[in-house]
Structure formats: structure tokens, C-alpha cells
Amino acid sequence: MKWSQAHIFTLREAPQDAEIKSHQLLVRGGFIRKLAPGVHTYQHLALRALRKVEKIIRDELDAVGCTEVLMPMVQPKELWEESGRWEMYGDLLLKMQNRNAQWFCLGPTHEEVITDLVRKDVRSYRDLPRNLYQIQTKYRDEIRPRFGLMRGREFIMKDAYSFDKTSTDALKSYDVMYAAYKRIFDRLGLKYRIVDADAGNIGGSQTHEFQVLAEAGEDHLMACDTCEFAVNIEIAPVLVTERTSNEALKPIEKFPTPNLKTIADLAKSTGLAETELVKTMFFKTEDNRIVTVILRGSDEVNAVKLKNALGITNPPELLGEKEVFEFTGAHPGSCGPHGLQSKKLTFGKFQYQASDEVYVDQNLKGCQNFIVGANQDDQHLRGVNFDRDFKVKGYFDLRMAKAGDLCGKCGKGHYQSHRGIEVGHVFYLGTKYSKTLQATYLDIEGKSQLIEMGCYGIGVSRTMQAAIEQCHDADGISWPVPLAPFHVHVCLLDASDSSCAKVADDLVKKLEAAGLEVLVDDRDERPGVKFKDADLIGMPLRIVIGKKGVDKNEIEVVIRKTKEKLAKSPTDAASFAIEWIRTHR
């Protein structure tokens, strides 16, 4: 393809809102253009890279017996009410009405639609198993769309859904998809980790995320330096370091702590380490409870772990300062578990039931005579003890894991911290959707049974950008061959010179005949501009054809990744490129 026809417009400057490198490069390289926040046009170069991601996905899914379909993006409210998600999905769901005042939403995911499809068609055990997938544009009304395609409102997803007779079969389907995902991300040439993850509001009980490792990633991962275990920090388990003390229980004693607002202040003033201090946090839940958590002063509460301990769907929210005051009678910094009272509280439109029972992080177990806020401004209590001085609801793993913590799985190695971009997700759903939507089949004895399901997503557009986040340098993108929009970028310098044009023409024909995709920069631009643009848009090989070289029967091949330059005759350049691309595919 010729540059002059390809509608590629590069920019010298990145737009202000492009915070991360891959986003800047996508815009500067003319790959994407923003229409509205989180909504983009994929220009030709981007589309070619997306098609490559899609092809690898299709190859691998078709190979394990999945079948491609395409479902509607516009979905009726009634179906989402049947599954119970019309309200529960929250503000991510973009809802709209048609001319007849009927409500619809734009599909953020397709469990409802696919389950409806299958429940209507599948009758008996003979119709199972099935694994259906689609590659399609999704819409999620993300609160903060950002980083270009990473967190779009409109984005391309591959979503697959498996339907099996039994949970054993469903878990086998899960394993098949897990293995297919590994092949997909291996073929894409990305550095990734597979991590244990929280099931979120899709439900189900077994789930893994495929995370591309990159500093700019929004997810925080912990990986053991000794065993294979890797996990999203949201659920990274921490081991208990229980203490035993023979110290006698002391009486409670109040002492003044003016101007000591933080744990660090308190540590300084008492001379105790932050690990020896206890802090108290308050949360409100979706089911209108106020809960109190205590943990070591040096630790942070993990809201996802707390959500799971509470048996609710969404992570609870921290109480604001005023709300804390209403519950405890003191401002944050002077609050504690002693003297709390169960009561009803009204914050804004909502009524909450506050409890005097305290959720305790397991790492406080065995602690005695500790210091906590007195629920009176500028006062603390020392000599506070479990059960005697406040009600313990239970001991739970509630703290955020940290780099250097003992691995929660093997207990031998230590966690290392990584940032990740979630590009894929596999879920075992069980009968969550088949139950609410009544998707059943008749078993061999003619008895009606619920279908067992799994769902499997890949962020196609996010994956493409994640590849750039992993493969770029100061000059621009350096596409891995499997994803590159073109394999070879020919910089034709003296385009109006007939001998140069002929060399370029012959070369392109040879490369294309060997199955390579070639972009020819035939613009009337200075060599410097062409080289800069070639580095920016990042095709794996660049071949420079100019009058001076052609007269000597010499053209230059540049390997984008290493910047290595090789002078070759046009014939040798062609065979080199064909072989190089073949070995890097």
C-alpha cells in the first residue's frame, strides 16, 4: 500500500490528555482519533493491527471447537431484568429508549443475550456442549475513560461462552479455554502473567486474568519469586504471623494526643513501630451497613477482601470525615473500636445500620494491650484488648499484600510487585445465569437440568495497545511481527526518479509474492521526515531506496527494534526481509 493513499497523518506532538506512552504513540502515529471521551476511530494502521489480533484469536478458538456468531449490540431491558442486572450493573450500563418508549441498553457484555439464545435452541443433552464466541464492539459507560483504547467507553472485545451438562464438563471447557488463551498471548508475542482474580459482579467461583506486564498498567499484581503463584492484589492472600504474649491484660487508660492525626504521628510520639499500632477504619456497604475494621498501623485495608468477608457484591466505600464523626463522636485519627454503639445513621438519601461489632485483620490476632483512638478528639486509649473492650465479629484476611510479604500460597518465597494490563479474563460461571434465565436441557433420563456455563473475554483493542506499551522506544512503536500492520516499510526517497521507482516496484512485488505486507512511503517529503515517521509508526523492517544507493546497486535494510542497518543489493534485501519476517512471526 502507498502512504499517499493510506490516510496516515502523523503528529509531532501528543495531545494533552494522552498520559501514557502507548496512547501518545497511537495518536501521534495516526492510528486512532478521538471522537468523544472513550470513543475512537480506528484508522487504517490500527485496523490492520486489530485484524491480526482477531485472526490469532479466531485461529486458536476455532481450533478448540468454538463457533463464531455475532449478537446484537442493542439489548432489551426485559432480558436484563430477568437476569437481575438492569439495576445491579450500575452506571456502566448505557440505557436508552426507542420511539415507543421501550428501554434498551448497549451491550457491555453478552451473558444475557447468549443465554437467551441457547435456552431457546438447546433442548437435550445431545445439543451440548457448545462454545460460542463473537468479536464485537462493546459499550461501557466508564466513569473515567482514559489511556486511549486501554479504558474506552466503546471498545472491541472477544467474548466466548461455554455451555455444558455438568460442572465437571464446564471446568474442562474452562481448562481448554485457559490453554487456548495461553497460545493466543504467546503467539501475540506479549510478556504476560496469568493471575488468580476476584470474580467481580459476574459471579462464579473460578477465574483467572491474563495480565500484560507494563508499568502503565492499572492493575497491581503480586507474583511469588519462588513458586508459580501470581495473583491480582485485590485478592492476594497474606499469611498470618500470629503472636503470643504472656503479658497480663492492663486496664484501659485514656491519654491526650493533641495534633496527632496519623499513625506516623502516633508512632513518633509513643516510640512504638507502626506495626505495633492499631488503626481503625469505617466503611459503608451496598446493603446499607456501617462496618468497622481494625488492622496494624502499617497496613492498608483491601476493600475487595472486605467485600468477600462481608459476602456482598461490591467493595465497600470508606466513610467520609463527617460520617465518621456522626458514628463515633470523633474525627478520623482519634477513632477506635472501644465504645462503639449499634445505631441507625442517615447519610444523604440513605439509612445505614451501624454495628458495634468489629472486623479484625488476622494479623492482629494475639495482640494485647494496644493503643487505639478514644472516639473523642485528641484522645487515645492504651491497654485495649479484644472481647473485653469491644465485640469481635471475627478475624479475617483483610489487608493489602505488600512486596516482600511471604507468598500466600507456598509460604516460602516472597511477593514481588508488578503492574499489569488486564487483556483477558476466564470465568467459570456455574449456573448463575442459567438459573435466573432458566436455561435448561433434558438429561438422558428426561429430567430437566440447568446448563453449566463459563465466559471468556479478551480486550481486543486493549491488547493491541498493550503490545505498544510493551514494545516501544524513545522514537516510537516497535511492532512485534505478529501484530505489525505492515511487515516492511519502504522509504522511497527519490520517488520521481525512474530507476528508484523501478527498484521499489520490483522489491514490493517480490515481498508481496512471498506473503509480506508492505507500506511504501512515496510522499514528496525529506528523507529525515520519512525516517522519523518510519520509526514512529514502527514496522519491523524498513528498507530505504534512494538515488545514491541505487546507482551503486545498494539499498539499506533497517531492523526497527535494534536499529541495526544492513547495506544489501535489492535482491539480497528481498530475501533477507522474507527470511527475517518468517523467523520472527
Q: Which residues bind ligand ATP (CB under 6 A)?
A: 109, 140, 142, 151-152, 155, 157, 200, 422-425, 457, 459, 461-462
Cell 486509649 locates to: 381
Among ligand ATP, Mg ion, none, what binds residue 486 when CB lies within 5 to 8 Å by partner kind? Answer: none
| Chain centre distance of CA 12 | 30
Question: What's the closest the beta carbon of residue 268 comes to ligand ATP, in angstroms?
Answer: 38
Question: What's the closest the beta carbon of residue 229 comes to ligand ATP, in angstroms?
Answer: 20
Q: Give the Cβ contact number of residue 84 at 10 Å.
A: 13
Question: What's the closest the beta carbon of residue 464 comes to ligand ATP, in angstroms?
Answer: 10
Query: Which residue minimizes CB distance to ligand ATP?
Result: 459
- The answer to whether the CB of 523 falls within 8 A of the CB of 513 is no
Among Mg ion, ligand ATP, none, what binds residue 109 when CB lies within 5 to 8 Å by partner kind? Answer: ligand ATP
DSSP letter (8 states) at residue 382: E
- Taking phi first (over 0 means left), then psi (-120 to 50 degrees means alpha), and beta for anything else, what does residue 8 get? beta
Which triple of cell numbers denotes residue 547?
A: 538515488
Among ligand ATP, Mg ion, none, what binds residue 211 when CB lies within 5 to 8 Å by partner kind? Answer: none
Query: Which residue minimizes CB distance to Mg ion?
Result: 425
Among ligand ATP, Mg ion, none, what binds residue 546 when CB lies within 5 to 8 Å by partner kind? Answer: none
Question: What's the closest the beta carbon of residue 109 comes to ligand ATP, in angstroms?
Answer: 6
47 — phi, psi (to 5°)?
A: -60, -40
The SS3 assignment for 493 reads: coil
Q: Give the Cβ contact number of residue 330 at 10 Å.
A: 19
Among ligand ATP, Mg ion, none, what binds residue 196 when CB lies within 5 to 8 Å by partner kind? Answer: none
Alpha-carbon span 209 to 199, nearest angstrom: 10
Which triple of cell numbers denotes residue 34?
A: 478521538
Among Mg ion, ligand ATP, none, what binds residue 208 when CB lies within 5 to 8 Å by partner kind? Answer: none
Degrees to nearest 5, angle at CA 21 with 585 and 221: 80
Among Mg ion, ligand ATP, none, what binds residue 424 when CB lies within 5 to 8 Å by partner kind? Answer: ligand ATP
Question: What's the closest the beta carbon of residue 466 comes to ligand ATP, in angstroms?
Answer: 8
**b/e for 470-486, b at 16 or more Cβ within 10 A?**
bbbeeebbbbbbbbbbb
Select 66 or 423, whichever has its Cβ closest to ligand ATP.
Answer: 423
Cell 499500632 locates to: 277
Q: In what helix (H) or strand (E) does residue 27 lie, and over which residues does it extend?
A: helix 21-28
Alpha-carbon span 249 to 368, nearest angstrom: 7
**b/e for 85-110, b at 16 or more Cβ within 10 A?**
bbeebeeebeeeeeeeeeebbbbbbb
Select 32 or 539, whichever has its Cβ closest to ligand ATP.
Answer: 32
Select 148 or 549, whichever has its Cβ closest to ligand ATP.
Answer: 148
- The answer to whether the CB of 190 falls within 8 A of the CB of 466 is yes
Question: What's the closest the beta carbon of residue 321 comes to ligand ATP, in angstroms?
Answer: 29
Select 39 or 403, whichever has its Cβ closest to ligand ATP.
Answer: 39
Binding residues (CB under 5 A) for Mg ion: these are 425
Select 138 or 530, whichever has its Cβ closest to ligand ATP.
Answer: 138
Question: What's the closest the beta carbon of residue 434 comes to ligand ATP, in angstroms?
Answer: 19
Select 134 or 298, whichever has its Cβ closest to Mg ion.
Answer: 134
Question: What's the closest the beta carbon of residue 202 comes to Mg ion, in angstroms?
Answer: 8
Question: What's the closest the beta carbon of residue 210 comes to ligand ATP, in angstroms?
Answer: 7
Alpha-carbon span 578 to 509, nearest angstrom: 12
Question: What's the closest the beta carbon of residue 182 comes to ligand ATP, in angstroms?
Answer: 15
Question: What's the closest the beta carbon of residue 129 comes to ligand ATP, in angstroms?
Answer: 22
Q: Rounded to the nearest 10 degrees, how much is the dihedral formed by the CA atoms of 84, 86, 87, 91?
A: 140
Among ligand ATP, Mg ion, none, what binds residue 75 when CB lies within 5 to 8 Å by partner kind? Answer: none
Alpha carbon distance, N-terminus to C-terminus of the chain: 20
Alpha-carbon span 203 to 433, nearest angstrom: 9
Beta strand pairing call for 379-384 and 253-256: antiparallel
Among ligand ATP, Mg ion, none, what binds residue 151 when CB lies within 5 to 8 Å by partner kind? Answer: ligand ATP
Among ligand ATP, Mg ion, none, what binds residue 530 when CB lies within 5 to 8 Å by partner kind? Answer: none
Residues 6+ apart with CB under 8 A from 533: 10, 521
Select 119 or 462, whichever has its Cβ closest to Mg ion.
Answer: 462
